[in-house]
Chains A and B, each alone.
Chain A
Amino acid sequence: MLSPVAENLIEKYFNLPFPGVTGVRCPYYINRRGARTQLRVLVGKGLPDEIVEESKIISIQYELGLFDKNGRCDERGAELIRKFLVDQNIGIECSGFVSHILRAHYLETKKFDITKKLNICPSGKFIRKLICKLRPIENMNVSIFADNSNSSIINTEQSGYDQVQAGDYIIIMETGPLQKRNHIILIRGVENKIINYVHARAWSSEGKYGHGVTEGKIRIINNNKNLLEQEWIENEKINDQNETYLEAKQAKILELRRLKF
């Protein structure tokens, strides 16, 4: 299991802390336009509390009526709020989600901030390094987590999946129809040959409003085979019906990794 604070943070993404409403799952949002100086919550890198705060500000500013006079949103259901978030381009993307969870996990268990240890900015330019220092979460992407200076591959073909633990992650590089997309999945825990994972993703089959943070599992059916030989279950869909599995299958690089420190 991840640390209690990290677990609590995951729970908050699954159940955003909107006052008066439960079950608002954080939608997926990725900053495709490449906006750089925006608020991190508007580029898919926000914490749950920041997402709620920003929704409140937008709702009040544009008189969208999401919150009542007492600051509660009890008159609207969770799905309507999710729709509001998607329409306002508020959500979380895969690496932002993993960055926040791992940061909380390592802060609690090893007492250090991973954003200070990770080599976030491989380029030697001073300005770039300064930006990465000031806004680390916004500059952390899948490539950073996949970089050999930050993490190492867990070789499951030799020693099986017994060594896999909470805090490890699955890297999916160059996937999708154009083989341009990268993705990261965080392992939440392993028990009874089942790897439980969480990630932020958007399946095409879920339409405009169905996406968001999701949990799934990988049942280990063959301990010495690679990940694609195992059973991927998410939203009650298995393997070829499971879009996460399909993405992993299409990927040029599929790796299980662990941070080096």
Chain B
Amino acid sequence: MPGYLSLQLLQQSLLFLIGSTVLAFLLAPLLTALLYKYKIVRKAEHDYTLQGERKNKAGTPIMGGLLVIVVVSLITILFNWDRRFTYVPIGAMAISAVLGAADDLLNVFGGKRRLRNIKHTLILIKVHKKWYMKIWHIVCLPWTVFRQLASLLGSKQDRGVQAHEKLILQFLAGAVTAWWVYFKLGPSWHTLWIPFDGSIYVGPLIIPIIIFFVMFTANAVNISDGLDGLTGGALISTFLGLTLLSWVEGRTAFTPFNATAVGALIAYTYFNVKPARFQMGDAGSLGLGTLLAINAIAINKTLLLPMLGFIFYIEIISVITQIFFRRVLGRRFFKMSPLHHHFEIAGWNEEKIVMRFWIIHSFMVIVAVWIALR
């Protein structure tokens, strides 16, 4: 074994993996019981996606992704706490997870929300009796425009956290990460690794790049969480790839950190395969999406994210393509988006889609690792 590959680091990381798996398996029944007790379950009357064969998903607890978030946080804080390397990823993951949890809870317990649209605001500016309210609506107009534009990206506009609120909080998670990388990790992180071509110095440009990747990846994982087992299984491959890359680079904090995530995801996926005992929910998918982006950025493999998170990126690109075709050209590109629904409509069963996506995803992670090691 070459000198830079530390057997001790590998053994330690495998111990973290085993430990987090065991802890997650122990906590899973407790979490399931809590979710049932407080009725944090998918409700058919609020969820337009629960149609046809998906009706039997109604009543399944959501927010199961908290299992991974809690286990990873707990183990990292207790055994792998590093002021330089692990506290910001945990913090950014927590911001995203809290945002996701708020969305999940509002979807279950919240009432309908109404947002004033641009047309309504313009009418108010024109006809409001009080002059100071006219000024107020003029001042608020850019905010209304932002909300309206953001709503085009969101699938539902009447319940939960609205698209514009999500964008702001995800931007915050991305900004925290960018601040950490740029100001705390130091100048060696101001470069962007380019596959097959070394790296280039990007300086402060790294900040928008990081914010973009964190927001994009978090949403990509969130969108992919539509079939039992899909996101959990795919994330296992991804974090295994990250563990391997961190180990090869001798990152003493990130190798066990990624291994912890793999362990927790093994237990999560065990309970999440069809028929799922619980679903990831936005709490898990946004949190883990953020963590995935940050951990790839932290080992300076940002540009490998589309391959390390291949299925997630394909899924979000399918949604973007579909929205473009639907809104702009008035036609469908896919039968339905995200991509897994396209295959459902085409007649594939859920298990077939999930397993094929796992296989393709794992293969792409292997390719990503190979590229990174060249």
Are A and B subunits of one complex? yes
User: Does A201 have its Cβ within 8 Å of any Cβ on chain B?
Assistant: no
User: Does A135 have its Cβ within 8 Å of any Cβ on chain B?
Assistant: yes
Residues in A with CB closer than 8 Å to B51 are 61-63
Residues in A with CB closer than 8 Å to B347 are 69, 71
Which residues of A (29-66) have their CB < 8 Å from a CB of B?
Answer: 37-40, 43, 45, 50, 53, 56-57, 60-63
* Contact count A vs B, C-beta below 8 Å: 40
Number of interface residues of A (CB under 8 A): 20
Whether B52 contacts A53 by the Cβ 8 Å rule is no
A45 to B330, CA, bound (A): 10
Residues in B with CB closer than 8 Å to A178 are none
Whether B345 contacts A56 by the Cβ 8 Å rule is yes
Q: Chain A contact residues: over half helix, strand or loop, or mixed?
A: helix
Whether B330 contacts A135 by the Cβ 8 Å rule is yes
Q: How far is the CB of B50 from chain A (nearest CB, A)?
A: 11
Whether B331 contacts A134 by the Cβ 8 Å rule is no
A192 to B64, CA, bound (A): 75
Q: What 1/0 mask marks residues of chain A from 227 to 251 whose CB sits below 8 Å from any chain B CB?
A: 0000000000000000000000000
Nearest opposing residue in chain B for A59, CB measure = B52
Whether A63 contacts B52 by the Cβ 8 Å rule is yes
A137 to B329, CA, bound (A): 10
User: Does A93 have its Cβ within 8 Å of any Cβ on chain B?
Assistant: no
Whether B345 contacts A135 by the Cβ 8 Å rule is no
User: Does B335 have its Cβ within 8 Å of any Cβ on chain A?
Assistant: yes
User: Does A168 have its Cβ within 8 Å of any Cβ on chain B?
Assistant: no
Residues in B with CB closer than 8 Å to A134 are 328-329
Q: Chain B contact residues: over half helix, strand or loop, or mixed?
A: helix
Which residues of A (141-169) have their CB < 8 Å from a CB of B?
Answer: none
Nearest opposing residue in chain B for A43, CB measure = B330
Whether A57 contacts B345 by the Cβ 8 Å rule is yes
A56 to B51, CA, bound (A): 14
User: Does A138 have its Cβ within 8 Å of any Cβ on chain B?
Assistant: yes
Nearest opposing residue in chain B for A134, CB measure = B328
- 18 extra interchain contacts, Cβ-Cβ under 8 A, other than A60-B52, A63-B52? A37-B326, A39-B326, A39-B330, A39-B331, A39-B332, A40-B330, A45-B330, A53-B332, A57-B336, A60-B344, A61-B51, A61-B336, A63-B51, A63-B53, A134-B328, A135-B328, A135-B330, A137-B330
**Closest 7 pairs (CB-CB, A-B):** A63-B52, A40-B330, A135-B330, A37-B327, A62-B51, A61-B51, A60-B345
Chain A residues packing against B (C-beta within 8 Å): 37-40, 43, 45, 50, 53, 56-57, 60-63, 69, 71, 134-135, 137-138
15 residue pairs bridging A and B, Cβ less than 8 Å apart:
A39-B326, A39-B330, A39-B331, A50-B331, A56-B345, A60-B52, A60-B345, A61-B51, A61-B52, A61-B336, A62-B52, A63-B51, A63-B52, A71-B347, A134-B328
